[in-house]
């Protein structure tokens, strides 16, 4: 057995996609999407992938990344092992090699996430064996767009329109709005600070140029829809929904949705979803996935819209 660091070769990217798709219970990755994400990574954070080889065969890999700013001593990782090699202690080999490498930034906390699904049972056993515990529990949900009656929400949309709340397609209708991306980033930072985080992780604001790298990739290659709610000149709420057209063209994932505090409890969050779903239907999207803590008000909105439960996502953590 030999563990090798990532050299960004085409073979390694192909292996990442292969191994991820062997484990994932819900989606599939295309190698081009993996390459695109790696190309815009934040170079100010230590990040690597470790591959476990048996001669020329890759059995699995571990990917890890250092946190940003206040989280710079945190490490986020995941392991994808070919299921036929489960139970042989190979995750432990990769994990121990990672522990050696992350000493360079004096890591003191580790985080990994898994789903409540049989595909992750062996990884769960590994985490418990290494004294990880659940720091956050997230309810995954899905909605069949074909079953949603959008007309039911026309009165809400009309009411908001009468009160001066307008909704726009961020990519196709707002490029000429003054300071568009600056306002969009500021909005996401404002409402994003209310998202729950696992113990030991602080909300941090990524540099604007890094934000724009992700935004450009989203708009050019993964754009499901981004809807922004505007009151006068103020961006008051937004949602961005992603599609991976090479592997899951009929399924979309909500990356984020939020409304400024002073504009909450007016139905804007629901309206953002409805406006987004209208556009997604036009693109032939059949299902939308999202996630929330069950005590989050957004979870109640999702239930009212007809979202149904999927396997939980558990964020595991431990202190070093």
The separation between CA 258 and the C-alpha centre of its own chain, rounded to angstroms, equals 15
Hey, what's the torsion of the CAs at 171, 35, 83, 66, to 10 degrees? -90
* pLDDT value, residue 297: 81
Q: What is the pLDDT of residues 54-87, one digit of tens each?
A: 999 999 999 999 999 999 999 999 999 999 999 9
Q: What is the pLDDT of residues 265-307, one digit of tens each?
A: 999 999 999 999 999 999 999 999 999 887 788 888 999 999 9
Residue 158 within a domain: yes
Is the model's pLDDT at 214 over the cut of 90?
yes
Same domain as 11, residue 105: yes
Q: Among 131, 149, 184, which residue terminates a domain?
A: 131
C-alpha angle 230-236-240 in degrees, rounded to nearest 5: 90
Model confidence at 160, in pLDDT bands (50, 70, 90)? very high
* pLDDT value, residue 294: 78
Same domain as 160, residue 201: yes
- Its domain, for residue 234, covers 141-317
**Cα(244)–Cα(30) distance, rounded to whole angstroms?**
8
Same domain as 9, residue 59: yes
252: CATH: 3.40.630.30
Residue 240 within a domain: yes
Residue 283 within a domain: yes
Residue 136 within a domain: no
Same domain as 162, residue 215: yes
Q: How many domains does the chain have?
A: 2
Residue 16 within a domain: yes
C-alpha angle 136-140-142 in degrees, rounded to nearest 5: 170
CB count in 10 Å sphere of residue 296: 16
């Amino acid at each position: 057995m030999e563990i090798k660091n990532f050299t960004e070769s085409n073979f390694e990217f192909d292996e990442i996609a292969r191994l991820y798709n062997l484990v994932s219970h819900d989606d599939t990755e295309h190698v081009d999407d993996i390459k695109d994400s790696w190309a815009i990574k934040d170079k100010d954070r230590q990040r690597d992938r470790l591959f476990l080889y048996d001669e020329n065969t890759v059995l699995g890999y571990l990917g890890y990344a250092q946190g940003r700013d206040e989280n710079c001593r945190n490490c986020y990782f995941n392991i994808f092992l070919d299921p036929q090699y489960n139970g042989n202690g190979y995750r432990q080999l990769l994990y121990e090699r990672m522990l050696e490498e992350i000493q360079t930034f004096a890591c003191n906390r580790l985080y990994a996430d898994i789903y409540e699904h049989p595909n992750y049972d062996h990884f769960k056993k590994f985490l418990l064996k290494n004294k990880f515990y659940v720091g956050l529990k997230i309810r995954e949900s899905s909605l069949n767009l074909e079953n949603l009656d959008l007309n039911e929400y026309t009165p809400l949309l009309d009411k908001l329109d009468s009160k001066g709340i307008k909704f726009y397609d961020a990519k196709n209708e707002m490029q000429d709005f003054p300071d568009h991306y600056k306002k969009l980033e500021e909005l996401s930072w404002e409402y994003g600070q209310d998202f729950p985080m696992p113990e030991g992780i602080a909300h941090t604001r990524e540099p604007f140029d890094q934000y724009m790298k992700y935004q450009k990739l989203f708009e050019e290659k993964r754009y499901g829809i981004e809807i922004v709610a505007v009151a006068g000149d103020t961006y008051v709420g937004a949602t961005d929904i992603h599609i991976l057209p090479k592997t899951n063209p009929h399924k979309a994932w909500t990356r984020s949705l939020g409304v400024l505090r002073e504009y909450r409890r007016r139905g804007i969050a629901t309206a953002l979803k409805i406006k987004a779903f209208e556009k997604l239907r036009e693109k032939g999207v059949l299902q939308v996935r999202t996630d929330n803590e069950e005590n989050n008000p957004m979870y109640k909105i999702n239930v009212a819209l007809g979202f149904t439960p999927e396997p939980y996502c558990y964020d595991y953590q431990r202190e070093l």
